[in-house]
Amino acid sequence: MGKVKIIVICALFVLLASTGWQIGACELANYELQDELKDLASLNSARIGLAVPKSDDDLREAVIGKAREHNIKLNPSQVTVRRSGSSEAPVVYLAVDYKARIALPGYTLTIRFKPTGGSRQ
């Protein structure tokens, strides 16, 4: 009876640790993607003249590329790009809406993330 109890407790501990690890990895990837969105929305290289301003499609593809670096799969329809302000001082707002799946034995947990970057004007 004592060995069975220890095995069950160890199995539960491994399940909790695995679930915690997967959730933590998803949260960290989301945090890093949000940081990347803020960098992309700032358009710093375009403001100081190092690069031409990017189109909405270019920004969308850049967001998808950054998400891919963090093992997040996105479609262009999941990326929102909004612009406001003048052409000399554009303000860009980027938003992403995606779901991450956590695989558990016999169950899949889905977490929804909505990282944003830039000003919402």
Domain boundaries, the chain: 2-118
Q: What is the dihedral angle through the alpha carbons of 44, 45, 47, 49, rounded to the nearest 10 degrees? A: 160
- Percent of the chain at pLDDT > 70 equals 86
User: Using one digit for the tens of pLDDT, what is the confidence trace for 63-95?
Assistant: 999 999 999 999 999 999 998 877 666 788 999
Indicate the DSSP class of residue 114.
-
CA–CA separation, 83 and 88 (whole Å): 12
In the chain, the amino acid numbered 5 is K
pLDDT at residue 51, as a whole number:
61
Q: What per-residue confidence (pLDDT) applies to 120?
A: 63
Residues paired with residue 96 on neighbouring β-strands, in sequence order: 79
Is 24:100 a contact under the CB 8 Å cutoff?
A: no
